[in-house]
Chains A and B, each alone.
Chain A
Amino acid sequence: MIPEIGHFALVLAMCLAIAQAIFPLVGTMNNTPSWAGLARPLAWGQALFLTIAFGALTYAFLVDDFSVRYVAANSNTLLPTVYKISAVWGAHEGSLLLWAFFLGIWSAAIAILSKSLTQEVVSRVLAVMGMINAGFVSFMLFTSNPFERLFRIPAEGRDLNPLLQDVGLALHPPTLYLGYVGFSVAFGFAIAALIGGRLDASWARWSRPWTTAAWVWLTLGITIGSWWAYYELGWGGWWFWDPVENASFMPWIAGTALMHSLAVTEKRGAFRSWTLMLAILAFSLCLLGTFLVRSGVLTSVHAFAADPARGIFILIFLLIVIGGSLALYAWRAPSIFSGGRFDLVSRESFLLGNNLLLTVFTFLVLFGTLAPLVYDALEWGKISVGFPWFNKMFLMVTPFLAVLIGFGPLMRWKRTDPAWLMKKLRIAMIISVIIGLIAFIPSISKGSLLVPLGMFLVAWVITSHITAIIDRLKHKQGISHFFADIAGKGRSYYGMVLAHLGVAMFILGATMVSHHGVDKDLRMSPGESAEISAYRFQFNGVVRTPGPNYTANQGKFTIFLDDKEVAVLEPQKRTYFAQGRPMTEAAIDWGLTRDLYVSLGEDLGDGDWSMRLYYKPFVRWIWLGGLAMALGGVLCISDRRYRTKKQKNQQLAQSDAANTLATENS
């Protein structure tokens, strides 16, 4: 019964989404306020029914209702409760439901938090989001219904893929989807602006916090995914340039460009059509990612079961949404005045540089991801674009970006005096160059030019931002004003600084772990020891340990530094009952300056095991960098600018209204 209620709720949500796509939009065109006013109630109704549907599926998992095909395929009575919940989005159908559910929630959030926007804008934004959700919900109902019943009810479910039975993977999809779905808001605002032909500072101001919020979720999602891959897949890597990883990374890069471009559009009124383009691009890449993951056009370890019917459906959907919005762009954007003149050395021009680099990088990743497909389709032969190519491209773009980041905060709008800038940054430059030169010492550089380069960039980003903060505080009431500034008006400024420092943290982690990491593959007998870097790993043998839905061989290692015990690690090799698949569960002793990581290989007989031991210096900084970027974004959103209800900004009555965007005044 409950699954039927869920199914029915999904059908109702689809009907409401279709209505939401049509009536509010038409209402704003032919001046029918009663139609336009339907936007909010429809969004609430849609969110309600999607919540019911999502709740129904969760319930089916919790009570082990194996008459539902999706539950039978992805759960098991022995599965721990927390994974029964995360199993809801563990495969194709359920993850679509999560997508649609989140889109419903975001629509409702707009409906609630937009009290001060004009009805016209709200109706149009919600209509665009209604179109998107109409597509997703009907895709689910017609090709991938999560509530489908089985006629012969199995006694036991097939269990969730063991790889997914993990906290990291319980969190990874929801955060990622909140990011994807969040970009639909920026997209909706962009389409509304194109339809209305009005694109002013207030528009950019409305879009900014929503875009930043989406970006924060996406940043978290990617960070969690990378961290998960590191500890769960058992071979110590943290990024693989897999097509599915690229599918989440491309919208992130485009979204980063969009955030920066929106700043220019808000403050200076420049880059308008470019900002619109990026808003469309960021969300289009989210949709494209969905297509690549679910249609089976590319081979990937992550891929969901491929089904051409699904592929056709999503492709048609892509054509309507992306093709339609780009056509609208081609039609309306030329008439949008792009104002604001600026000099070659100015914040605008540097942000433009940042935008160009990020866009080029987005397209490089897109090219690398699609190249095998394009080559094949043109019958030029088959190619593979692997890890090395993407790394090379990444290393070609990131250093330039990091150099620009350093100049950013000191740059002034319109025009910056190059001589003044150089004078300001002289000390930062000298310190960074010295640190870069020190890193040429062979024991630090390990014979690679990339280590000095990385260290230079880290030092440059940090010292230039310190310079900028000092400069900022000099114009206020001095250095002692620092904390008052953070608590007060400067919050978005410090958010920006923190996010940029996150980039430095990431570069530090990635450089160190790539060049100073040590790993060894060994055959060890109980009692034997191995030296990795300064650490001695002592192997104490393997014992069998039972788990809730698996049994494990658990190894025990004691790790010494200078004959002092620093850690005990217990890696496992698990065999899950339901699927009989072995899984490696690595054991990690983590720290800010190094991780010690042990992953168990094969039983070689006589108590001997093959194993892999790692020393991973500064690897945590990769994810700490991601967290710092996300936290920086949160600081930016919480800036008072977006919250104060009344500002004395008279000339833009609408932007006044926009300030209440993220308030609690519902």
Chain B
Amino acid sequence: MSGRTRFLIPLFIFLIMAGFLLKGLFMDPRHIPSVLINKPAAEFNLPTLYNPEKFISKADMKGKIWMLNVWASWCSACRAEHQVLNAIAGMGIVDIIGLDYKDEAADGKRWLQQLGNPYKEVLVDKSGRTGIDFGVYGVPESFLIDGDGVIRHKFTGPIYYPDIKGVLIPKLKEIRGEGK
């Protein structure tokens, strides 16, 4: 590449980037891509944090309405979310299963000891494989999964207090309503 064309490279790189930024404006990172809702959740079979011998798979959760919360001890936003999860667990409205994502088990345990444990079980996804299968974009994320193992709702980013009343409870009602 010689002469003047070389000097056009930065402009081209920028224009390509601007294209992505434009597209990014119309994708809400806090919302689910429609392809994932109402689709079966990815299969998984993972060890639990407190008992590495014990594995939990998707099949074990069949028939239950539950929420998968993806978190990690290195994730700053998770810390803000954690008290909301504690509140949800305290209200007892839905079982939360944690997915400790790309994390060291010791760090994860320490985190829960310090901040409290809202989880019914905590799964360890050290390689991040299951997270990728679930299309995890950034931690934290939470998936509301129904008795048939279908993802019904996804929270991208932290769940905030108003989300409990505004989103979580109505969604749970909707899912439970169908069961009857």
Contact = CB atoms under 8 A, between A and B. Distances in A.
Interface string B98-122: 0000100000001001111000000
B95 to A, nearest CB: 21
Interface in B1-30: 3-4, 6-8, 10-11, 14-15, 17-18, 20-30
Contacts of A334: 3-4, 6-7
Nearest to A328: B11
A612 B18 contact: no
Interface in B104-147: 110, 113-116, 131-132, 135-139
A592 B178 CA distance: 63
A653 interface: no
Contacts of A296: 28-30
Contacts of A647: none
Contact of A388 (B77, B102, B139): B102
Given A299-B138, A330-B10, A521-B113, A377 B24 contact: yes
A381 B132 contact: yes
Given A326-B10, A388-B102, A299 B157 contact: yes
Contacts of B113: 521, 523, 610
A377 B18 contact: no
A315 B113 CA distance: 44
B44 interface: no
Contacts, number: 131
Given A370-B17, A377-B23, A235 B79 contact: yes
Contacts of A355: none
B93 interface: no
Interface residues of B, number: 46
A533 interface: no
Contacts of B80: 301
Q: Which of B22, B24, B132 has the most CB of A within 10 A?
A: B24
Interface in A366-385: 370, 372-374, 376-377, 381-384
Contacts of B115: 601-602
Interface string A602-633: 10000000111000000000000000000000
Contact of B20 (A281, A299, A373, A602): A373
A242 interface: yes
A41 interface: no
A322 B10 CA distance: 10
Contact of B18 (A277, A281, A318, A601): A318
A582 interface: yes
A168 B153 CA distance: 39
B86 to A, nearest CB: 9
Contacts of A388: 74, 102
A386 B157 CA distance: 14
Nearest to B73: A235
A521 to B, nearest CB: 4
Contacts of B79: 233, 235
A64 to B, nearest CB: 26
Interface of B: 3-4, 6-8, 10-11, 14-15, 17-18, 20-30, 33, 72, 74-77, 79-80, 83, 102, 110, 113-116, 131-132, 135-139, 156-157
16 contacts: A233-B76, A240-B76, A281-B10, A295-B25, A299-B157, A326-B11, A329-B11, A334-B6, A370-B17, A373-B24, A376-B29, A381-B135, A386-B74, A387-B74, A523-B113, A612-B114
Q: What 8 pairs across the A-B complex have the smallest Cβ distances?
A: A297-B24, A382-B137, A326-B11, A384-B138, A377-B23, A311-B25, A382-B135, A521-B114
Given A299-B77, A315-B22, A373-B21, 11 more contacts: A235-B79, A298-B24, A299-B29, A299-B157, A329-B10, A330-B8, A370-B20, A373-B20, A377-B20, A384-B136, A601-B115
